[in-house]
Amino acid sequence: MNPDAPPNGSAPTIVLVHGAFADASSWADVVRQLQEQGHTVVAPANPLRGIAFDAAYLAGVLRQIDGPVLLVGHSYGGAAITNAATTATNVLGLVYVSGFAPDEGELLINIENGSTDSVLNTALVQTEYPTEQGDGTATEFSISPALFHDVFAADLPAAQAAVMAATQRPVAAAAFTEPSGPPAWKNLPCWAVVATGDKAAGSDVVRSMAERAGADIAELEGSHVIMISQPQAVTDHILRAMQSVGTPAGDRSVPAGAGGD
């Protein structure tokens, strides 16, 4: 058990939200380490169908969790938590892991296009998926398996990246083209892990968004999937956030310095 954790029944649940081209198993080693220290962890499925839909789904997950929450998002999952936590009254803080922290009205496609570190756009494969409207379809993207290792997971063994490429979940184009809503990071304390070798989201834009949000930033040398290649370091930063927000259930004051300008 973690000796720094609040008394039983008052410690926040840690909710880990995965990003695009992945699923909740990307958090497996982080989940294990957090559970070994006695923390309650939930790693829900992110639908990857667009910011509005995904944020609404995640907000529903959060409403059904009894007690306070520390909300963690990887990559596109950062955009989802940015929007979902705006209406969730039990979220005490946000942790971005190679994560997007968009401001209101911003589009992820424009953020990506502004990165000089990201090469994601050169690796995407476009496909179609059926919608609920008759025979209509909508566009989704995956990463070319041939490029997955170099773009997404360069610090992992090639064989491991190949498995991840084969099991990746495509993301709807709407995730990149829908405007983001009011950001929760303006009203909540934030932490961020920036991977200096991130060629997917782009280290430069991830860092700039984290700085804008006023986040407590840890920079780690590694790829976009830093929580897989360096789970201990990512877990440590999540625990740093837990030590700050893990107050008893009756104390909901937001720590000083919360949010950005």
Segment-wise mean pLDDT, segments of 10 residues, the chain, 261 residues: 42 97 98 96 97 97 96 98 96 98 98 96 96 86 98 98 98 97 98 98 98 98 98 98 70 39 39
Q: Using only C-alpha atoms, what is the Rg of the chain?
A: 17
Residue 246 is predicted with a pLDDT of 75
21: tokens are 């081209």
Residue 253 is predicted with a pLDDT of 37
- The pTM of this model reads 0.90
Domains annotated for the chain, with CATH where assigned, are 13-245 (3.40.50.1820)
- Closest listed residue to residue 30, CA positions, set 229, 226, 234: 234
Residue 8 is predicted with a pLDDT of 42
Question: Judging by DSSP bridges, how do beta strands 137-143 and 124-130 pair with one another?
Answer: antiparallel
Quick count: other Cβ atoms within 10 Å of Cβ 244?
Answer: 17
Residue 64 is predicted with a pLDDT of 96
Contact 192, 210 (CB under 8 A): yes
- Closest listed residue to residue 41, CA positions, set 75, 2, 98: 2
